[in-house]
Each structure stands twice: as C-alpha cells, then as structure tokens.
Chain A
Amino acid sequence: MRRSLQRLAMVVLLLLAVSMLTFVAMNVLGDPLFNILGPIAGDTENPESIAKIEAAKAQYYLDKPLPERYVRWLGDFVQGDMGVRFASDGQPPVTGLIKERLPRSLVLMGMAQAMALLIAIPWGISSAAGSLGGVDTGPRSWRFLVPFALKATAVTYFAQSLFGSVVGVVMLSWFIALLLAHQFAETVPAARELVDGVNKTMSGFSSALSFGFISMPNFALAVSLYYVFALKQGWFPLRYDASDGFFTRMWQLFLPALTLALPGSAVYQRLLRTDLITTLQEDFILMARAKGVSKRRVLFRHALRPSMFSVITVFGINAGALVGGALVVETFFGIPGIGTAVVEAILREDFPVVLAIVMIVATGFVVLNFLVDLLYSVLDPRVRS
C-alpha cells in the first residue's frame, strides 16, 4: 500500500515535470499571440490591432506571467479543457480534435499490440517446443495434422500469389513430401533425418526472420507491406477513408496495424522463447509430463504463464515505441489519427495541440506501465501475498 502510494506520487511528479517542460518550451519557442492573431499581432501602430491584441491577451491570460499561465493551463487541463487551437479558421477547442483523432489511434495501436501478441505467442511456443522433445506430434493425430494443413495451405497460397504458380506447385509437393517423411519417420531413418533437418532449418529460419523484423525500420516495413499486399496483390485497400463503415475501416487499418505489430511480435517472440526454454527445464514441467499431461497442455497451461513476465514488461515499454511508429504509419497510410495530428500541429506551430498530445501520450504510457505492474500479481500468485 505504502509502496503504491509512493509510486503514485512519483508518477504525478513525473507528469508535472513533463507538462511544465513542454509548456515552457511551447511558450518560449513560439509566440502564442502571433499564432492566435496572425500578422495583426505584429501591428502595434494601428489602434484597432492594439485593441485586438489587448483583448486576446486578456482572454488567453497572455498578460500574466508564465508560472501563472501554467497553473491556469494545468487547472483547465485536469478538468478536461485543453485550450484552443491556433488555427487560421478561428480558435476551435483542442478537445474536439483530440476526441476525433484519439480513438482512431487507440484502435490502431490496440490492434497492433493484439496482433503482436497473437503472432508472438504461438511463434515463441513453437520455437521453444523443440526443447521438450519430439513426442505428441505423431503424424496420425489431428493435433499434428490440423496445424500442419493450415501451415501448408497458407504458405502455398502465399508462395503461389507472390511468386507464381510454379513456385506454388513446388511448395505444395514439398509439403506432401514432408508429410510422408513424418509418416515414415519412425521406421525409415532417412525420413527421420529429413524431418530433423527440416526442423533444424526451420528453427534457424525462424530466428533469422525474427531478427529481420526487429531490424526493419517501421517506415521501410510500411512501404514494403504496402507494395506487396496492397499494391501488387490488392488484398488490402490502398487508403484509409474515415467516412467508410466500421468494418471497412477496421479492414483498412489491418495493414498499418500489421506494420506496427511485426517488429513488436519479433521482440516478444525472442523474449518468450528464451523464458520458455528456461521454464521448460524446471522440475514442475518434468512432473507435469510424468503425470501424463499432453505436450500441448504442458506448453500452454504449465509453461506459458510463468514465462510471460519479460513479455509483459516489454509490452508496456513497447507502447512508447508504438507512438513513434504510429506517427510514421499514420502519415504513410493517410490515417487521420493522433500521430498525423501531432505532425501537422508541430509544422503549423499549433502548440496547444502539441502540448495536449504530449501530455496524453505521457499519461497513457505511465498508466499502461502501472497496469503492467498490476498484471504481475495476476500472473504470479507469489507476488500477491
């Protein structure tokens, strides 16, 4: 309890420091008066302009010293009033823009994180499963056949559409050969060797792939995915259109979300794999196997949960990187979200918007990491007591 209170105090202090710095920077670097009034702000000869300047100064407390303005701004912000935008078409409230843009970005980032986990967990488990030994994957059980068939279909389909039908046919015959090799692995040594060799190659391929995802800059990944899947294959729409229906929009967000998700998924996969391999050497895994639990159940029910700690820690940290990624991805795919809003705002020197977004992002980051801390105790009963 005491610790949580201390943490909370620290968090508040942190957010105050962030807001103060940003507020001062915004007000020192830019001239708010000029941004509100435009060229009139510099016109101190004309009495009409002077009157306008005075009125604006009074309205926005610009005649008050900086610390007082900060306190006023903070008071308003806490109550949900983020001030007005510096725009040529009057001064619309910042809140309106945020309300319109924020949900879109949240959906995008949420989708990305969910995708990253959905990819990373099976990937991590299958890349660590080798250390549990080759049991439970007999070629006649549906537990082997169903994932195998799914994998074969997906890979063949991808190969066929990306590289033409010749490659597709080659892939398909390869999978049939592999299935036969699995079938005879127990009796024919050559088949066993083939299966082992393929497994080894695949694990090398998997780690190379994950390293590749980590090293691919998000903008380069965005261009590549867009080129292959939207432009060449036409599987995904080229543009985001805010006026489309809900499901169409979700579909339009798929590729941008995937762009954000892939590097994250590779990071999660690597962490999960390392932790899983450690967990799988624990005595309780041996015990679970000795009581006859299936390999699948050992992996998913016994080993996964105690191996998730690094993943959720980085999950929180990754949220910060995701904001930077969203900036790039939203700009490239033309999604009017909070990322594009901040880029536009900075370029137009619309400082109240920048201030509001920086605060929202910082608060969101802090809150998320606080939740991650709570999640530890959900995952591990020993932390609770």
Chain B
Amino acid sequence: MNNPDVLLDVSDYSVGFRTERGLAQVVDKVSFQIERGKTLGIVGESGSGKSVLNRSLMGLISSNRQIESGSAFFAGDQLVGRDRQDFWGKRIGMIFQDPMTSLNPVMRIGRQLFEPLKQHLSMNKEQASQRAIELLTQVGIPEPARRLRQYPHELSGGMRQRVMIAIALAGEPELLIADEPTTALDVTVQKYILDLLKDLQTEIGMSVILITHDLGVARGRTDEIMVMYGGRMMELAPSEELFSDMSHPYTEALFSAIPRVDQPKHTRLTPIAGAPPDPVEPPSGCRFSPRCVYAQQDCTINLPEADGPGDHKFACFYPVNTDDGRSARAANIENGQTATGLKIQTAGVS
C-alpha cells in the first residue's frame, strides 16, 4: 500500500469451509504482493489450494459455508469481506482451465465478447464489434469477423482458449488471473498460448497471476513464483532465484518431477510419494512432513512460518541448500526412512 507500484497486497489470507466433518482450512495464512506489470506464478499440485485462493480472492465462491480472513488490498481497496462484483472483468480478468466448457455453447462468440465491452466500456454495438475484431486479431485468431458469428463448438480448443483470453482482456483489467490456462490443451498448443499471454502482458502492461501445477510452465514466464502445498505457502522467490537456489524440499520435489532439457537423457523423474493432506485434519507440524525426505522429529511438531532473507521466503527448518538440510537428508537416507515413517528407496534418490 505504501508502495504505489504494488497492485495486489495479500497478507495472512485464509479461506476455510464448514463441512460435515468440520472446518476445512483450504488456504492458510498466505501473504504475497504483485507489482504492476509483473507476473506471479502460483505453483502446486491439485488440492494445494491455489485455485481456491484465487477464486476466493475474486469473490467468485458464493457459499455461505465459506469463511474468509486476513486482508487483500487491490490498488488500495480492501477486497476481503465485501462484494467484489465491480472488480470482475473490469479490473481483474480471469481465464479458466478448460476452454471446452468455459464458453457458453449456445451463444455466438461475438455476443460473449461484446458483453464485457458494452458493460465495462459502455460501447455501442458498432464500437464493440470493431473492438472485438481488434481483440481477436491481437490474440492471433485468423478471420476475426467471421468468428464473431460462430459458436464455440465450431472452434478448436486452442482457438477457444484464445477467445477466452480476448474476453478476459476486453474489460481492460489491471490484473489477469490465468488458472491453469493450458492444462486442458494439446502439448503443441500449450506453448503458443503461454507465449501469447507473455506477449500480451508486455504489450498491455498488466499484472498476471499464472496458476499452474507445472513448474516448467512458470519458468521463464514469471517474475516471481509462489509454491503452495496443503493451503500454505512453502516458498516465494524471484523466478530465477527459485530455480538457481531452491530452499524448500517440496519445491525440489516438484522440480525433480518435471522433465528438463539440461538433464542427461533417460534420467529418472522422481514422483512425489503419497497424497496431498486432508484439509479438515491436516498433519501436525509442517504440512509436507509426511511426504518429505528431509523430515525430522521437530517437523511434525512445529509449524514452520514462511520467512527468509530479502524477497526469498520459505517455510522449512531444513532448507535443501543448507548444511542442516543436507545432514537431515543424509540421516534419513541412512535410516532408510524419515521421522514420519516415509520409506526411502535409496535407488530412487541419486
């Protein structure tokens, strides 16, 4: 707030849901900032709370079972605890995972694109259709005028995702939240869409939150990356630093689970053993401890808070790049299992 460059300032933000079994803490005390024109990547497995975090921040979850706390300032306006409808489309745009189901099947592309133009920019039909053609051209759709009269089912998946991006951009938002924008697409199309997003961002100068389960997607396309697990922030660092100097075992685990070019051929990818934690009854101590090869006794007792030097924060007692971490891992490998009872197969750990 003090810094005029900060567009979104989230601190201690939590989201819970009342369920039959008790309170499910899906997002737990998350803090981060996004500056204008910058991109933040939020990375985590499914169930890590990354999607709920953003939908909840947007106020798109309308359930009376939801409990929200903490604060989130968008350009100085507090979002938490108020109706956020006047931000939708106009100041914050959103695109979703599945372009096949996210466009209205019984409405022409044109009308779906005109809606935000008419609503947020008070355009008349002619202006809207002119602007719509510009937008479609901008996202790289050939024959834009013809597309306006088509229905979503007449377009391919990649085309539909482009249309969705055009719709999200139509209201000229200051922030674009892209929730797994490429997960449902063919691998060949994924790169085009991601590069398009990057180009558009530099062109328009908006901020972007890129949500993904794939560290590789965030690499090179984000300024900062936040790694989430079990609703908590595990690590937050400038992108380059995260990759060159990762501190959290979970980040490392995610990183070893993706194929990389710099690896020798046929290197084994290491899947992360176990399943994400239950949000109603999370493991005590560090949420990741049951699946962590570094876990020690105190990891299961105390909950590490995200902290660290400068803008690189992490929530771990035994960071991977420290002597503590290295000796913790070595001790666990020697024992053949961690403090939480996770068996370590020496062959899998190089």
Measured CB to CB, the residues of A under 8 A from B are 132-136, 138, 196, 282-284, 286-294, 297, 301-302, 305-306, 379-382, 385
Contacts and interface: CB of A to CB of B under 8 A. Distances in A.
Interface in B201-254: none
Given A133-B63, A381-B151, A283 B102 contact: yes
Nearest to A196: B64
B104 A284 contact: yes
A305 B151 CA distance: 14
A134 B106 contact: no
B153 A292 contact: no
Given A379-B106, A385-B154, A292 B85 contact: yes
Contacts of B105: 284, 306, 380-382
Given A291-B89, A291-B115, A286 B102 contact: yes
B171 to A, nearest CB: 6
Contacts of B97: 283
B74 to A, nearest CB: 14
B96 A283 contact: yes
Contacts of A385: 153-154
B171 A135 contact: no
A322 to B, nearest CB: 28
B43 interface: no
Interface string B60-80: 101110000000000000000
Contact of B119 (A138, A292, A380): A292
Contacts of B59: 135
A382 B153 contact: yes
Contacts of B103: 284, 287
B62 A380 contact: no
Contacts of B120: 292
B116 interface: yes
Contacts of B170: 291
A82 B194 CA distance: 72
Contact of B88 (A196, A289, A381): A289
A48 B260 CA distance: 111
Contacts, number: 90
A271 B58 CA distance: 32
Contact of A283 (B88, B90, B98): B98
Interface string B246-269: 000000000000000000000000
Contacts of B171: 291-292
B104 A292 contact: no
A291 B154 contact: no
Interface secondary structure of A, over-half rule: helix
A135 B86 CA distance: 11
27 contacts: A134-B62, A135-B59, A284-B104, A284-B105, A287-B94, A287-B103, A287-B164, A290-B60, A290-B89, A290-B94, A290-B96, A291-B88, A291-B94, A291-B115, A291-B116, A291-B168, A291-B171, A292-B119, A292-B171, A293-B89, A297-B115, A302-B104, A302-B107, A380-B105, A381-B105, A382-B105, A382-B151
A136 B85 contact: yes
A243 B143 CA distance: 63
A136 B85 CA distance: 8
Given A133-B62, A287-B164, A294-B85, 14 more contacts: A134-B62, A135-B83, A286-B102, A287-B167, A288-B112, A290-B58, A290-B88, A290-B93, A293-B89, A293-B119, A379-B106, A381-B106, A381-B153, A385-B154
A135 B84 CA distance: 9
Given A286-B60, A288-B104, A385-B154, A135 B167 contact: no
Contacts of B85: 135-136, 292, 294
Contacts of A138: 83
A291 B101 CA distance: 15
A305 to B, nearest CB: 5
- In order of increasing CB-CB distance, the 3 nearest A-B pairs are A133-B62, A292-B89, A291-B89
Contacts of B60: 286, 289-290
A132 B64 CA distance: 11
A306 B115 CA distance: 18
Contacts of A301: 107
Contact of B101 (A196, A284, A297): A284
A200 to B, nearest CB: 10
A291 B167 CA distance: 7
B93 to A, nearest CB: 7
Contacts of B107: 301-302
Contacts of B154: 385
